[in-house]
Amino acid sequence: MKSRFAGVLMGQVLGLVLVCAISSFTALVSFGGIAGVTMASAPERVFRLAAPLSCPDGTIRYEEFKASYHRPGERSFYVECVKTDGSAADITSASIGYSLLGFYLACFLPLCLPGAAFALVLPLFLLRGEKQKQPPIFP
């Protein structure tokens, strides 16, 4: 009985490690493109979604400006956290970081959670079939 339990446990652990490694690699490869396109097409919406994490006790102020001193048409943005007392702090890099983390999790979790459930259940069925194939102890 102990060897069956150890086999099931090792199969589940190996399956979880394998599924999470594949999901992590796939998410790392794909989230950059998805995040880049989404942040370029609707940056204010993305930063408003990340606002509770980057500015928990205030509101965000998003400003987009066009810099024409170097190349005409270059655009950039600036995100500030305006607190209730009126002070403002730059949270542009924190907002970008939280947004990228959110996009990574949005790519990783749909891959890892179903795969992890499958990896936990599959060894149970595989080793159940092995137990049924064994000859009876008392003929």
Residue 81 lies in a domain: yes
Tokens of 28: 């790392």
Residue 129 lies in a domain: yes
Mean pLDDT across the chain, nearest whole number?
82
pLDDT at 136: 63
pLDDT at 115: 87
Structurally, how many domains does the chain consist of? Answer: 1
Residue 139 lies in a domain: no
| Those residues with Cβ within 8 angstroms of residue 121's Cβ, 6 or more apart along the chain or in another chain | none
- Domain range enclosing 61: 2-133
Q: pLDDT (tens digit, 9 = 90+) per residue, 72-89?
A: 667 788 889 998 888 888
pTM of the full structure: 0.73
Residue 117 lies in a domain: yes
pLDDT surpasses 60 at 133: no
Separation CA 126–CA 120 (nearest Å): 11
Alpha-helix runs per DSSP H in the chain = 2-41, 43-49, 51-54, 92-133
